[in-house]
Amino acid sequence: MSYHIGLTGYMGCGKGEVMKILEKRGYTPISLSDMVRAEATRRKLTHTREHLQNVGNDLRKCFGPGALGKIVRETMEKQPKKKWVIDGIRNPGEYAELKKISDFQMIGLTAQPDVIVQRLIKRGRDGKKVTKKQILERLDREKGIGEPPGGQQVKKCLDLVDYLIINEGTLKDLECKLDHFLGLLDGSERPSFHEIFMEIAYTWAKRATCLRRKVGAVIAKDKQQLTSGYNGAPRGVPHCAELGGCLREKLGIPSGQRHEICRGTHAEQNAITQAAKFGINIESGTLYCNCFPCVICTKMILNAGITTVVYDSDYDDALSKEILGQQKLLTLVRYEGKKFFA
């Protein structure tokens, strides 16, 4: 079966390189950015990143968030026998239009900000020097900070991808990760153990009773699952939905703060206490979770002797990140690979 592949991600993360690789493998390239460039030319604007971002925003404002995606989708549908690779997806509305095409898969590419900054300074397109501050400002705009709903929302697009690549290595590393994804599509590759255990974590998250965020966790060692957990009220205690809603929401407590004001037990905590209940040794194990651990979970994970945490989505807990930055016993790994949803 042939798939059409869409690309989203931040600048300097390798979307252009993936386009080149797939083009060599028989995919026909098409880019939403080409539509924006054509409109910028019509308006007699130079093709600077700022001008293109403004034109793209204007087109979405005038014709809807999915306007560029619709144009590309209709172009592809006129040539159904081709395999397409689509670059420049920057708004969930564009993704929604392209998802109407059968056999569409989207790859997300990301990297740490410092890696992006180093690459773009080294790249120096058009002979122009760019500062770290300028790059970080552009990166914030790509993420959607300060942007209208119809503007650039790459961070939200990354939450929708079928496969995530963290591109911080060599071009060969990037091609290997892409090959794994393509192998998963055609059945020639087996899922990695990270993918297996993260899928299980997401499956357990479906049991979560938390009204704010559904989280699942799995602790594994030597490629074997040991324990699991999901977030919700402790055993024998009514769930929040049975009591009229979330206490934290009623009190207006922001995410990542005042964890003691919550009726729920976190997925990581349940996975650890389950090990204590059944006498399972989780020391030197790996904890998989679809969310970055909060400060309470972080302290329990460290004291339980777990040595690796593989997490998917971020969680805004400053103290947790401070403590994790001060220790050397635990390795944090951002999950990449096939994506799952609770």
Report which of 208, 311, 316 is spatially closest to residue 254, judged by C-alpha positions: 316
Angle (CA) 225-297-220 rounded to 5° is: 10
Report which of 312, 314, 209, 298 is spatially closest to residue 259, judged by C-alpha positions: 298
Angle (CA) 273-304-308 rounded to 5° is: 110
Reading the block at residue 95, the tokens are 């993704």
**147 belongs to the catalytic site:** no
Q: What is the C-alpha to C-alpha distance for residues 288 and 307, in angstroms, rounded to an integer?
A: 11
Report which of 340, 286, 285 is spatially closest to residue 313, judged by C-alpha positions: 340
Reading the block at residue 190, the tokens are 């087996």
Q: What is the C-alpha to C-alpha distance for residues 275 and 282, in angstroms, rounded to an integer?
A: 7
Exposure string for 153-169, b = 16+ CB within 10 A, e = fewer? bbbbbbebbbbbbbbbe
Report which of 165, 117, 167 is spatially closest to residue 139, judged by C-alpha positions: 117
Q: Which of 195, 268, 283, 336 is catalytic?
A: 268
- Contact indicator for 99, 31 with CB cutoff of 8 Å: no
Catalytically annotated residues: 268
